Amino acid sequence: MNRKWLLALLSLAALGVILLGITWRAAKPMPHITQPDQCMQCHSDMSDIDHAHPTEIFGCAKCHGGNAFATDKTNAHKGIVRNPSRLEHAVIFCSECHSDIIKRISNSLMQSESGILNVLAYQWGESRELNSTIGIDELKQEFNSSSLAQNHFAKACAACHINQDETVFDNPETTRGGGCSDCHRTSKTKGTQHATYTTRIPSSNCLKCHNRSNRIGLSYQGIFESEGYGTPYKEGNFSNQLADGRSYYALPADIHHAEGGMDCIDCHTEKGVMGDGKKHHHMEEAEDIKCQDCHTPKFAPANSLAVTLTDLNEKMSEPKTIGFTSKMNSPLYHLRPEHNGTTLYRKRDGKALSVTAMSNQPYHSDAIHQRLDCSACHASWAPSCYGCHEVYFENGKQFDWIQKKVTKGEWQEYRSFLRFESPSLGIGYNKKIMPFAPGCQVIGTLFKDKKVEKFHAMAMAGWDPHTTQKKSRTCVECHFNPATLGLGRGNLNIHEGNITFAPFFQSAQSGMPFDYPIDAFVSVEGKQFQSTSRKEARSFNKGELRRIVEAYRCILCHDSYSDPIYRDFNHSKVQFEKEETSCFKN
């Protein structure tokens, strides 16, 4: 009996030794450098997040917290954070190196969404302050439940901001937020594969948010959110649908995308995107890049930031002479003078693109068009959604993206019609002439308890639609097109010296609570019908409308910009008014 027991014990011991031997052999040899933390005992095979943060050196606890020197899982995992890139964590874990960026992004519009919130409150008559910096964080502290604008913002807009809680989204394809991860993460953690991070931000990350409202990200790729027919039907199903079910169709994409294959970050600098630390009121204040930064570049020796960014980018050679943005003097480390021209290296893959220099042809150099923003002529189309009919059910329920729970009140959105062609022009936030689209034309119906209330807040907004083409719009497209002039669709004419316009759309008869055509920014007499959300922004006034349309009298025959009359157009006009020109000869 005893012998039997001994034998059993011995064989168990032998098995133990063998097993130990196997595990000993399977274990990694100790690294030459000291392990950064005890976490590596279990997670030694966790992959790197990027080449700047190797796990071998950083370990886990530096970013994720927890108890770095505990030897058991329970103690080790106490207090760890899953996503340290959320801004409230990043300020603790990442500040040692990235304090500057964390401060900047925390103050940025992509975090606060204060631009959207305040324009909304202004448009809806709840605030007279266009330049407020109240944003999501302030609403989290103090939410005014009687404010319709705040309610609408919380339910319809606040889903998109950098620090949104990723876990509240059901659909992985429409998940947003997560702090730094929102933009910088390129893959999610899977097993021992750590999520990967990059400074070569793929545009798809930008598109997670920049696909609605003015739809810049979609338009840039030539995607026009369409009327929702789902046509053509393919294999018995709807085609051309975005991940969230909206329909679209393809229009000519921005030339930078179509021909250059450029990503958002090829124009938009880190400062322009993550902010310069100031709390800005509107996107254009925070924006850094201008068309001329590449197309009439100013080169200078690379600074240290340029070297760092190039190093992080890994796709291009060391910078010597590079471009800088004219507004914030940010290094465009990928824009370099080469081969008697300018070369732009795509940040994502380092591919060299030759940049067309802005010509000094009369159409660019003449005084008469100095007030035009590049987009006025070069933006070929603009998503224009007329009529944003907001319906509010006070007793309904809907997810609140700030409180992260279903709360009272529900919004539904309806619309009148869409257009992409002949974007309207007006005077933009920079006092330059640029495309305008409805932004937003809110016609609200509020179902409150037992009564129905109506309100409307009609506004047009100017912006660069990101549908740039090399070929500009034609002279007639602006000088004799009522839609472009902001009059709306209809018949424009010059009759016995007077400019006349007969609009097509009959608003009152179409049930709108106003008389002017819904697509009219301004009347032919220069009366502005709809507001804007910037102090400087407005429609053309009477004098401007007259000047633009009357110029058509010249354009009819002098339809080329190289025509000598445009060299000094004001002089030509004086001659013309005196009937000294040959126009009157026969």
Partner 1 sequence: MLQKLIFPLLLPLILFAKESCIDCHQEQSAKCEKSVHYTLSNAINLTRKTWGITDSNVTLQSIPLPKTKIEKPADLVDDFLRRKCLKCHPFNRSSGERGMKRGIGCLSCHTPHQPEGSCQRSSKITMKKCLSCHNKGFVGGDYQGLFPKDHHRSYRAPLSQDGHFPSQKYGIDHHTLISDIHYQKGLKCVDCHKAEEMRGDAKASCTGCHAAPSPTNHPDYHTKLTCTSCHASWNYTAYELSVFRDDTPDYAKWKDLTLQEDGYLTNFLNKALKAKKPPKPRMPDWIERKQAEGIWYSGYRYKRWEHFVLANYDDGRIGIIRPLFQYRISYRDRNGTMILDDVRTIDGKPIEAWIPHAPHTITKKAKSCESCHANPLIMQPYSGENEVLKLQVPQNMIGASPLSSEQIKRMGSVKYKRVRGKMLLRP
Give me the residues that bind partner 1 (CB under 8 A), please: 224, 226-238, 249-252, 387, 389, 391, 413-418, 443, 445, 447, 452, 454, 474, 476-477, 480, 483, 489-497, 500, 502-506, 509-513, 552-553, 556-557, 583-584, 586
Q: How far is the CB of 240 from partner 1 (least distance, A)?
A: 10
Phi and psi at residue 566, in whole multiples of 5°? -85, -5
The answer to whether 252 touches 222, Cβ cutoff 8 Å, is yes
Distance CA 225, CA 247 (A): 6
Residue 240 is which amino acid? N
- Burial of 442-461, coded b for 16+ CB within 10 Å and e otherwise, reads bbbbbeeeeeeeeebbbbbb
Which one, 79 or 513, has the nearer CB to partner 1? 513
Distance CA 250, CA 225 (A): 9
Which one, 304 or 586, has the nearer CB to partner 1? 586
Q: How far is the CB of 188 from partner 1 (least distance, A)?
A: 30
Q: How far is the CB of 586 from partner 1 (least distance, A)?
A: 7
Residue bearing tokens 């796709």: 315
What sign for the dihedral angle of Cα 422, 424, 425, 428?
Answer: negative
Q: How far is the CB of 124 from partner 1 (least distance, A)?
A: 17
Whole-angstrom CA distances from 135 to 4, 99, 115, 153, 398 are: 78, 21, 8, 10, 21
Which residue, 37, 29, 83, is CA-closest to 58? 37
- The residues, any chain, with a CB within 8 Å of residue 73's CB and separated by 6 or more, are 42
CB-based burial label for 415 (10 Å; 0-12, 13-18, 19+): middle
The answer to whether 376 touches 432, Cβ cutoff 8 Å, is yes
Which one, 413 or 525, has the nearer CB to partner 1? 413
Q: How far is the CB of 489 from partner 1 (least distance, A)?
A: 4
The answer to whether 47 touches 193, Cβ cutoff 8 Å, is yes
Whole-angstrom CA distances from 352 to 255, 317, 338, 373 are: 16, 11, 10, 27
Q: How far is the CB of 347 from partner 1 (least distance, A)?
A: 28
Strand partners, 221: none
Which one, 495 or 535, has the nearer CB to partner 1? 495
| Cα angle value 550/556/562 (rounded, 5°) | 100
Phi and psi at residue 191, in whole multiples of 5°? 60, -125
Q: How far is the CB of 573 from partner 1 (least distance, A)?
A: 13
Strand partners, 426: 434
Which one, 299 or 561, has the nearer CB to partner 1? 561
Residue bearing tokens 């922004």: 537
Residue 454 DSSP SS3: strand
Which one, 67 or 441, has the nearer CB to partner 1? 441
Which one, 22 or 494, has the nearer CB to partner 1? 494
Which one, 179 or 503, has the nearer CB to partner 1? 503
Which residue, 358, 472, 392, is CA-closest to 425? 472
CB-based burial label for 12 (10 Å; 0-12, 13-18, 19+): exposed
Q: How far is the CB of 55 from partner 1 (least distance, A)?
A: 46
Q: How far is the CB of 208 from partner 1 (least distance, A)?
A: 22
Which one, 39 or 376, has the nearer CB to partner 1? 376
Q: How far is the CB of 496 from partner 1 (least distance, A)?
A: 4
Which one, 166 or 390, has the nearer CB to partner 1? 390
Which one, 24 or 584, has the nearer CB to partner 1? 584
Which one, 5 or 584, has the nearer CB to partner 1? 584
The two three-digit tokens of residue 195, written as one number: 């999520």
Which one, 80 or 583, has the nearer CB to partner 1? 583
Phi and psi at residue 190, in whole multiples of 5°? -145, 110
Q: How far is the CB of 559 from partner 1 (least distance, A)?
A: 9
Q: How far is the CB of 549 from partner 1 (least distance, A)?
A: 10
Distance CA 274, CA 269 (A): 8
Q: How far is the CB of 247 from partner 1 (least distance, A)?
A: 8
Which one, 274 or 457, has the nearer CB to partner 1? 457
Which residue, 423, 517, 516, 431, is CA-closest to 473? 423
Distance CA 508, CA 515 (A): 5
Q: How far is the CB of 422 from partner 1 (least distance, A)?
A: 9
Whole-angstrom CA distances from 189 to 56, 94, 148, 359, 475 are: 17, 19, 40, 49, 54
